[in-house]
Structure 1
């Protein structure tokens, strides 16, 4: 609502209080009476326009008269002949004739009383006396200010144009306002406002071949083509080269890993993230005990423990890690301004190098005493730089050779939870996602004035992760509004347009760490420029991550995300669910209970925190084989962690081969029979002596 709609106060005589003008023709007062969407008042269930006490909505005159009777305060109405004392006399004469025509039309169409509607003057002193009455707040809805205006004013001109177009459809006249018989169309809320599934835009992307191949009809016979049939067709070599290549790509798409876990790696601390290297020969996992554990996965079905590195003075947890393109160095961060850079060579036991992102190259570097946490880091494609998203609302770019930050972009209004490069060949394109609900694109070649290249709007809560497809076009984000969204760089919003939109006008600032999301409060973002929206997972408690599936093992067919409910969700590009890896089911009761855990506490879902709980924070799809490694908060009350390896096995739940399906190992991949001893229900008993020794095995 623009500032021109605010009520005006005629000049005071210098002694008495000023007066507030009530003008029925002023859009501010008209919206206040007729637009229920922007008011605190909500109609009662059942469709009737009644307030909390069951009373009908009243006009301003009737409400004032009723309040006079209730409160004993006399309300005086002063009628004037003109709408604006500042108009010229010639204009006044024209306006009087125009107002008379409006009044006649109102009387004919709306059946109002014979008294003409004129501006009403009520003294401020009288209003202050009326404030003591309890019913005033319900009628005037918090001093007649719409809810959206109390949060932040919406000043976007495009939105005003859209509202004007919708008003034309409902009989809106800019001179006399909306007619009471029509009213405005209320925008849907809650689940009724969810996006269409399957998504039309996503279907077009799938059919275009950008995200995988599509099957080609060869005959009219409908059959379920299993893997053996597809392999036979490939071996026979039937069809053209194009058909054979398409058949090979289709083989990868059907191999979505199963819920049953091949291996369950148990940690004695929550596991925050884990990723395969680009070539698939390396895997690392980050835990809350400030250790990053590395594994040799050159044979993806036979992992080998590699080494561990430690963050020497971290805070709370290791927040993120990134592997250099040549796999020689691993960078990992905590809620500090320092990033540790450690060699991955198992024979190199040197201490990690400390990269101070607070050092911006000034004569007196700010050094270690400067405090800001780092939430996300990524290596550039050439391995020379690291980009970081930080708690001081900024994006930093650190030059490893120069040992200092070469760029700081204070481009957000809240924490920057996620950053990444556009692709491996373009270190000048950066993406950043923030708690201010925006996803921004930065081009370092044109940042002389610090301006972003573009903005993506659509999330109504803060972002938790950002991933690039690597083609310089498509970006994926996860948000606390319980959605993942796909974006196209060609559809990003310009800075000039985005600057006219306040992102905080469309968010409830949902506290995801301690509350369950209420979908009835959801209201779609009016400026959403995303292509596809994915739903079903839960983004709660922690910054849960999402990713594009790799081209080598999935033909880039899917996007996937972890979830607070203990699963990995895999979606087709049309937003339909392609598969689901149930980590909670695969790991439940897979280790002894912690004797120190309080079994009588509960989380906000009402689950007993002493029971087995799983929150999948991150997942990584192997680049060449049908395998997903999920890193989770896992165990009795999510007090510990796991990394579970899930592979495609054509629906087979049991496997007679070695290693056996579902084997349980410690952090060094050592098989331990003690992990198979279920002690569920024995939390009040003392654990055997081996329990304490086993808890320290991986230290």
Structure 2
């Protein structure tokens, strides 16, 4: 792998992301493998648009408008151990493979990438979309497939072992966000029309059902809960919402509405994510904070400062009380959230 000159890794300071502090800003003893309660990873040369822990919690990948993906150790001094180059446009979303040996990415260059993490080389360049690819997700059980959503209005289904797509689902509007259940029995899409669609990709002629609720504003982020029972969405109506996506549900699927994470005028693709146990939701915000809610009560547990730009993506560690946030200020911050 190509190893970069080590970017800055520094404590974010007492005025930044607060470890275990909640809304009152108190700090607690370090309970993770971080060297400091808050660590800022600096090295990208443009906005950081995506961040993801791998399944083991040991590694972090960050994708940027500088066209690169940086790889970091999640513990200790959080060294940057490699860089992946190859996209000709901004990297808008990334996912680790199930075994952490590969990375999947999508870009404004109209392509998806499959990358070998050990060597940093591109294994496949997958093309077929006619416009910017905004979002990807993976099917985690059974055959590993990548789901993509594009401004061309299509959802792509991709086998990371093949250059050509498995199939496409045609929709009427540009797609800004996609998500899939772990077994792939439901694929979700949303975008500029403000409605979420559920699809069975084996029968793509029409959505299985739709979820209105964000009005006519853009929906920029989708994520399925760890138990596959709920979906979270982040919309430009300045709300984060949860939905009941269990099969055979016939009544109103709307569950909860969460406030406190505004979008702002930049119109970035701000995302929302679940904690590993499904008890918390986190979202990026244009007010430069990370907002974390308790799911049942809708109470804001943390509104974490530290960034000096819009927070575009967030990701909980699967193994420790740590959250990573990616920002337009060109940095990633890791912070404890006990």
Distance, in Å, in 2 between the alignment partners of 1:479 and 1:431 is 15
CA deviation profile, 1:34-59 (whole Å, cap 9, x unmatched):
xxxxxxxxxxxxxxxxxxxxxxxxxx
- Structure with a larger share of its residues in helix: 1
Counterpart mapping for 1:191-340 below 5 A: 262-266=38-42, 267-297=44-74, 300-314=75-89, 317-340=90-113
Selected match of 2:294 from 559, 572, 581 = 572
Shift of the 263–397 alpha-carbon distance from structure 1 to 2, 3 Å rule, reads same
1:483 corresponds, among 230, 233, 239, to: 239
The correspondence for 1:544, drawn from 258, 270, 278, is 270
The answer to whether the 8 Å contact 1:378/1:388 transfers is yes
Aligned to 1:395, which of 130, 133, 155?
155
| Partner Cα separation in structure 2 for residue 563 and residue 261 of structure 1 | 21
- Equivalence for 2:316: 621
Deviation at 1:403, TM superposition (A): 2.3
Higher relative contact order (CA 8 A, sep 6+): 2
State the TM-score, normalizing by the size of structure 2. 0.82
8 Å contact kept, 1:565–1:615:
yes
Alignment gaps of 5+ in structure 2: 1-27
Counterpart mapping for 1:119-518 below 5 A: 262-266=38-42, 267-297=44-74, 300-314=75-89, 317-345=90-118, 348-358=119-129, 371-381=130-140, 382=142, 384-411=144-171, 413-423=172-182, 426-445=183-202, 447=203, 450-460=205-215, 461-490=217-246
Could you list the runs of 5+ residues in structure 1 that have no partner in the other structure?
1-226, 229-254, 359-370, 495-526, 585-612, 635-640, 650-699
CA distance, structure 1, for counterparts of residue 318 and residue 105 of structure 2: 22
- The alignment of Structure 1 onto Structure 2 pairs a total of residues equal to 301
Query: What does 1:585-664 align with in structure 2 at a 5 Å threshold?
Result: 613-634=308-329, 641-648=330-337
Q: Deviations over 1:30-81 (max 9, x none)?
A: xxxxxxxxxxxxxxxxxxxxxxxxxxxxxxxxxxxxxxxxxxxxxxxxxxxx
Say whether the 8 Å CA contact 1:379–1:387 is kept in structure 2: yes
Distance 1:289 1:457, change over 3 A: same
| Offset at residue 618 of structure 1 (A) | 1.1
Alpha-carbon distance in structure 1 between the residues aligned to 2:337 and 2:291: 15
CA distance in 2, matches of 1:529, 1:492: 11
Deviations 1:196-222 (A, max 9, x none): xxxxxxxxxxxxxxxxxxxxxxxxxxx
Q: Structure 1 or 2: larger strand share?
A: 2
After TM superposition, give the deviation of residue 399 of structure 1 in Å: 2.3
Which residue number in structure 2 is paired with residue 658 of structure 1?
Answer: none
Deviation track 1:245-284 (CA, whole Å, cap 9, x = no partner) reads xxxxxxxxxx89xxx9622122321111111112202210
Distance 2:60 2:269 in 1: 20
Q: Is the 8 A contact 1:273 1:617 kept in 2?
A: yes
The Cα shift of 1:462 comes to 1.5
After TM superposition, the score normalised by the length of structure 1 is 0.41
Answer yes or no: is the 8 Å Cα contact 1:440–1:454 preserved in 2.
Answer: yes
Is contact 2:178-2:187 (8 Å) kept?
yes
Computed over aligned residues only, the root mean square deviation of the Cα atoms, in angstroms, reads 2.5
CA contact (8 A) 2:293 2:299 kept: yes
**What's the CA shift for 1:418?**
0.9
Displacement of 1:477 after TM fit? 0.4
Greater C-alpha radius of gyration: 1
Contact kept in structure 2, 1:545 and 1:561, CA below 8 Å? yes
Using the TM superposition, give the Cα deviation of residue 471 of structure 1 relative to its aligned residue in structure 2, in angstroms. 1.9
Q: In 1, Cα distance between the equivalents of 2:101 and 2:332?
A: 23
Report the Cα distance in structure 2 between the residues aligned to 1:646 and 1:563, rounded to whole angstroms: 16
Secondary structure of the 2:161 match is coil
Instruction: Tell me, in whole angstroms, the C-alpha distance in 1 between the residues paired with 2:196 and 2:121.
Output: 38
Contact 1:583 1:614 in 2 (8 A): no
Give, in whole Å, the separation in 1 of the partners of 2:41 and 2:98: 26
In the alignment, which residue of structure 1 is the partner of 2:259? Answer: 535
Please state how far the C-alpha of 1:311 moved relative to its aligned partner.
2.9
- Report how far residue 306 of structure 1 moved: 2.2
- Residues 531 and 356 (structure 1 numbering): CA distance in 2 closer, same or farther, change over 3 Å? same
Alignment partners' CA distance in 2, 1:264 and 1:380: 31
Alignment deviations for residues 433-473 of structure 1 (CA, whole Å, 9 cap, x no partner): 1211111111234x1x6121111111111210000013222
The 2-side partners of 1:474 and 1:454 are apart by: 14
Q: Deviations over 1:314-373 (max 9, x none)?
A: 2xx21111111111111111123311211001xx25345211134xxxxxxxxxxxx311
SS at match of 1:268: coil
> 1:528, CA displacement in angstroms?
7.7
Q: 2: CA distance between counterparts of 1:530 and 1:333?
A: 30
**Distance 1:450-1:548 versus aligned 2 partners, 3 A rule:** same
CA 1:458–1:291 in structure 2 vs 1: closer, same or farther (change >3 Å)?
same
How far did residue 422 of structure 1 move? 0.9
